[in-house]
Chain A
């Protein structure tokens, strides 16, 4: 199985900060997705195929990377962005997730 490792596990940031979350796969992959999950809610797909923003997702979110190393960047953190973020590989089944990164208010 492909292991997905996110870093950091949590971070504290202020509104307006630039935030970057890293995700590393245990092998080279094609197909990396990012989800946002707010407390008590289902996950929401933000980005698929490494960098493709889903409809309605603000442009302050961006994804990049290739092979085994990927990042999610929020260019200017907004109050509604405080949540937990997960990466997931869609290279091959089982479709594994990272352990999550909780973005908290500083």
Chain B
């Protein structure tokens, strides 16, 4: 059974940093691209960042470029999101998601999602 478990969310002041983690199990983690998607409570979905299986391709939404850093450790089946210079508008539930496309950095949809970790940016 595929499982994605996020952690690291919490309350943080504007301008501070936070690191999210996602531990994967139940599939060959190093065969698939992974993504972070966020959702403001009660609002829609926003793709944040993606990373290829071998970390060669890394991608960000314009809204977080230069402030967020995605990374992965295939030996630990783990995905990370380092968030710095946080803003109030970064407040959201952050989901880790597996791409359904095998191999290179193309996408055919996100077929497994974690339950999310809530990040609240407030003074």
Chain A residues in the interface with B (C-beta under 8 A)? 1, 31, 33, 35, 37, 41-45, 48-49, 54, 86, 88, 90, 93-100
Chain B residues near A43: list those with CB within 8 A.
45, 95, 110, 113
10 residue pairs, one from A and one from B, having the closest CB atoms = A33-B109, A42-B113, A90-B107, A48-B109, A97-B45, A95-B47, A100-B44, A45-B111, A93-B59, A99-B44
CB of B92, distance to nearest CB on chain A (Å): 13
Known contacts A45-B110, A49-B109, then 14 further A-B pairs from the complex at CB < 8 Å, ordered by chain A residue = A42-B113, A42-B114, A42-B115, A48-B100, A48-B109, A48-B111, A86-B44, A88-B45, A88-B110, A90-B107, A94-B47, A94-B61, A96-B47, A97-B44
Bound CA span A43–B114, Å? 9
Chain A residues near B110: list those with CB within 8 A.
33, 35, 43, 45, 88
Chain B residues in the interface with A (C-beta under 8 A)? 35, 44-47, 50, 59, 61-62, 95, 100, 106-111, 113-116
A42-B95, A42-B116 given as contacts; is B46 within 8 A of A97 (CB)? yes
Contact of A93 among B44, B50, B95, B109 (CB under 8 A): B50
Chain A interface mostly helix, strand, loop or mixed?
Answer: loop
Q: How many A-B residue pairs have CB under 8 A?
A: 60
A42-B113, A42-B114 given as contacts; is B35 within 8 A of A95 (CB)? yes
Q: Is the CB of A90 within 8 A of B109?
A: yes
Using CB atoms, name the residue of chain B closest to A33.
B109
Using CB atoms, name the residue of chain A closest to B48.
A94
Bound CA span A37–B62, Å? 25
Q: Is the CB of A95 within 8 A of B107?
A: yes
Interface centre among A44, A49, A93 (most CB of B within 10 A): A93
A42-B115, A97-B46 given as contacts; is B59 within 8 A of A49 (CB)? no
Contact of A88 among B50, B61, B109, B114 (CB under 8 A): B109
Q: Is the CB of A94 within 8 A of B59?
A: yes
**Could you list some 7 contacts between A and B, CB below 8 A?**
A1-B62, A88-B45, A93-B59, A94-B59, A95-B107, A100-B44, A100-B45
Bound CA span A97–B61, Å? 12
